[in-house]
């Protein structure tokens, strides 16, 4: 087995190689010793992290509990917070993800350039035997989406203890939320009825369930004309202070889709009026031009490339985020950002294992399905892919898989000593090959081979 010292040399090579004449690649924090986070609940119980299942969430029974949080070796020492189990179907797994809400803003391990926030998330990633899907997915996201100045969470591996009980390896990430330095859009003033604010939303198959929760987020539906496959609604993740804002947002999103559909399918061209309440027909404009006035196309290109690389089954299901900022200093365009949820990616799900073909292009995602096949959009994808190749992003991504394995091999082994049932019982969603594996190294090797072939296939299509 390679040593951590060797892994550090590999990491130093990754940080310095291939940068001449190309944009510098972003890298996550990889401390030699995996950091430790401790959560002490006020009642001394781990019930909040063990007892709840998805049905409990649907019944509105999952609540925050008071706790103290310590991050070893940092200024976060016994800080007051609230914690709860989080997720949807992942609540069915024994090792559950956890939402943290501090009483006072804290920075966690220097993430996001040291900025302090109240809300953070610990991802359990139970399904992923390699432990690397979210780190590699987010590495790609940071270098595709993040380098274009769209928001993408920072992250770091940690060991977690609950009331002194070791709970395994988690991935510390940021909460997907509106906040300066995260999704930075205009927030409404208290009790304001102003409609021209910032909105952050998720295309979400769970939208109806969310609407039924006692304190669920606001939701709305848009009919996506001509879309093949089942359609879902949108869950609003930003604050609204008046019911009319939700109605306005639904109308706005309906009109954005109408601009795109009319230009592509009907050869009719529209733009918004001054207050975004109606569409105005225009002449002497192309489909790309009118769509580009309504949508931040660079953000859609980035998100498309990312999800095409990883073959994310959730891209047509949930965790597909977008925003629009209609405030005074906003960009006034539908913007796709905050990529999330990579545990089912990279060919591990039964029925999604192929590393050939263009998955995101044909997925039941209304925005990709309508726009991504257009020749002008493909040209934009090829141009962006050439930039990413100049960064040596495919090579560096594959090298990072190895560096993570070398650095944290013993830590991952320790995780599965704590949760041996993950290896013993497998996971019903995965392809048969992966359920035959007995350690994280085999799953990481599968990830490397699958992604290497995926890069090669897409490079042939996007030359």
244-290 pLDDT, tens per residue?
A: 999 999 999 999 999 999 999 999 999 999 999 999 999 999 999 99
Contacts of 391 (CB under 8 A, 6+ apart): 18, 22, 23, 24, 25, 143
Secondary structure letter of residue 23 according to DSSP: P
φ and ψ at residue 186, rounded to 5 degrees: -65, 125
60 φ, ψ to 5°? 70, 30
Q: Are 90 and 83 in contact (CB under 8 A)?
A: no
Report pLDDT digits (tens) over 188-228.
999 899 999 999 999 999 999 988 988 889 999 999 999 99
Question: Is residue 210 within 8 Å of residue 88, measured between CB atoms?
Answer: no
Tokens representing 368? 């990709």
Q: Which DSSP string corresponds to 297-350?
A: HHHHHHHHHHHHHHT-GGGGTS-EEEEEE-STTS--SBEE------TTTTTTBT
Per DSSP (E only), the strands in 45-152 are: 65-71, 79-86, 97-106, 117-123
Bridge partner residues of 71 (DSSP) = 37
Whole-angstrom Cα Rg for the chain: 22
* 140 vs 211: which has the higher pLDDT: 140
Q: Give the closest residue to 276 by CA, choosing from 301, 251, 295.
A: 251
pTM of the shown model: 0.95
Q: Are β-strands 219-220 and 65-71 bridged in parallel, bridged antiparallel, or unpaired? A: unpaired
The SS3 assignment for 361 reads helix
Using pLDDT thresholds of 50, 70 and 90, give the confidence band for residue 2: very low
Q: Kindly give the residue spans of alpha helices, DSSP state H, lying in 117-270.
A: 133-144, 207-212, 243-261
């Amino acid at each position: 087995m390679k040593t951590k010292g060797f892994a550090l040399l590999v990491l130093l090579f990754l940080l310095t190689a291939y940068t001449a004449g190309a944009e510098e690649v972003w890298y996550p924090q990889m401390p030699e010793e995996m950091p430790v986070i401790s959560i002490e609940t006020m009642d001394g119980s781990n019930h909040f992290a063990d007892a709840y299942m998805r049905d409990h969430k649907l019944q509105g029974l999952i609540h925050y509990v008071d706790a103290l949080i310590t991050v070893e070796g940092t200024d976060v020492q016994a800080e007051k917070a609230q914690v709860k189990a989080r997720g949807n179907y992942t609540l069915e797994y024994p090792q559950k993800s956890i939402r943290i809400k501090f009483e006072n803003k804290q920075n966690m391990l220097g993430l996001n350039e040291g900025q302090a926030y109240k809300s953070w998330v610990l991802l359990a990633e139970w399904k992923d035997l390699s432990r690397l899907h979210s780190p590699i997915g987010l590495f790609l996201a940071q270098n595709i989406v993040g380098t274009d100045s769209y928001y993408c969470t920072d992250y770091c591996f940690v060991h977690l203890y609950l009331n002194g009980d070791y709970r395994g390896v988690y991935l510390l990430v940021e909460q997907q939320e509106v906040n300066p330095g995260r999704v930075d859009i205009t927030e409404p003033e208290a009790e304001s009825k102003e409609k021209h604010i910032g909105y952050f939303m998720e295309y979400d198959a769970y939208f109806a369930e969310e609407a039924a929760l006692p304190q669920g987020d606001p939701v709305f539906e848009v009919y996506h004309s001509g879309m093949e496959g089942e359609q879902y609604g949108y869950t609003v993740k930003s604050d609204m202070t008046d019911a009319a804002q939700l109605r306005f947002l639904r109308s706005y999103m309906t009109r954005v889709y109408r601009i795109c559909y009319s230009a592509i399918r009907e050869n009719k061209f529209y733009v918004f009026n001054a207050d975004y309440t109606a569409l105005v027909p225009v002449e002497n404009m192309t489909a790309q031009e009118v769509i580009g006035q309504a949508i931040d196309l660079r953000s859609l290109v980035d998100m498309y490339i990312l999800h095409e690389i990883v073959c994310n089954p959730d891209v047509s299901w949930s965790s597909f985020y977008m925003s629009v900022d209609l405030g005074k200093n906003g960009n006034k365009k539908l913007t796709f950002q905050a990529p999330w949820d990579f545990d089912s990616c990279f060919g591990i799900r039964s029925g999604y294992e192929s590393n050939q073909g263009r998955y995101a292009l044909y997925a039941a995602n209304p925005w990709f399905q309508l726009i991504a096949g257009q020749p002008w959009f493909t040209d934009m994808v090829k141009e962006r892919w050439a930039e990413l190749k100049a960064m040596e992003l495919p090579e560096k991504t594959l090298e990072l898989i190895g560096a993570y394995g070398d650095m944290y091999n013993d830590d991952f082994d320790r995780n599965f000593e704590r949760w041996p049932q993950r290896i013993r019982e497998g996971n019903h969603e995965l392809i048969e090959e992966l359920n035959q594996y007995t350690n994280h190294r085999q799953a990481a090797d599968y990830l490397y081979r699958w992604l290497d072939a995926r890069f090669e296939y897409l490079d042939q299509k996007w030359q």
